[in-house]
Amino acid sequence: MKANRLKKGAQKIFLPRNRAMTLLACAFVAGLLLFFSYRFYAMKPLFPVEKVVFIDNKRLTDAELRDIGGFSAERSLLAISCSDVSRRMLRSPWIKTASVRKEFPGTLAVTIQEAEPFALLDMHEHLFLIDEGGKFLEELKGDAIPFLPVIVSDPYRERECFAEALTLVRLLNAKGLTAGRDHIEVIAHKPHELSVEMDEMTVRMGTGDYEEKLERLVHLENDLQVRNIPVDYIDLRFGDRAIVKPITARKVEE
């Protein structure tokens, strides 16, 4: 019993001293953490980004790409995630792909593939550059308008017809029917009324069978040029027939 009382007494004597030592040790560790945290942020990072190199950019400048990527010289190459940088770059509609590579000790190399303007979209009297998939690149504001086929449509309200117009423009380009012309305009509001303005001539296409219709258009145009017949419109919507309306003569059916 006496031994137990002595033991309990010893615990009462040494417990406050242990608590004080514990508090002192915690304060020391906290001080070390604060010191090293300050040193960590005050010191120059290991392998800092000294140079960002952009490869294959033609339209976007290096300065524009730096803004898009949010690059900082204060960051370490070790702390940069290539996939995060790539995702930031892809937020720009002008960038189709972005491949990021670290080149130690201090270079970040970014290879990009830019989107190519495919056509102009005339939507409610506003002009937009779009890519081959119909994605908006930017709105054009000013007098400098590049020569590209124009699609007159509203992709939000006339989605089906807009998709048909994109297909038709691809085929017009593939068959060389856009070359050497001053104006190509695809009117795409209703599929059965889909038409193409080719300089001074209107070609009523309707929907579907574009390959066959354009083949007929090529042969028919050659024949009309040989015969020197100016044309108001050509209607290709009726099976294997082509209805031609000359400007100064009555309608001719082939």
Is residue 156 a part of any domain in this protein? Answer: yes
Q: Is residue 134 part of a domain?
A: yes
Considering the domain architecture, whether residues 65 and 175 belong to the same structural domain is answered as no
Which parts of the chain fold into alpha helices (H)?
2-42, 62-69, 82-89, 159-174, 210-226
The domain that contains 76 carries what CATH number?
A: 3.10.20.310
pLDDT of residue 2: 46
pLDDT at 36: 57
Q: Is there a domain that residue 208 lies in?
A: yes
Per-residue pLDDT tens for 103-127?
999 999 999 999 999 999 999 999 9
Kindly report whether the global pTM for this prediction surpasses the value 0.85: no
Q: What average pLDDT score do residues 206-224 get?
A: 92
123 shares a domain with 234: yes
Residue 222, SS3 per DSSP: helix
* 240 and 166 in a common domain: yes
Q: pLDDT tens digit string along 26-73?
A: 777 777 676 555 555 555 678 889 999 999 999 999 999 999 998 877
Residues 222 and 135 in one domain: yes
Structural domain count of the chain: 2
pLDDT band of 16, cuts 50, 70, 90: low
pLDDT computed for residue 47 by the predictor = 87
> In this structure, is the dihedral angle defined by the CA atoms of residues 185, 189, 191 and 192, taken in order, positive or negative?
negative
pLDDT one-digit tens code per residue, 193-210: 999 999 989 999 999 999
Supply the range of the domain harboring residue 105.
51-114
Pair (72, 88) in one structural domain: yes
Same domain, yes or no: 247 and 124: yes
Residues 239 and 153 in one domain: yes
Q: What is the pLDDT, as a whole number, of residue 40?
A: 54
Decide which of 64, 95, 114 is a domain's last residue.
114
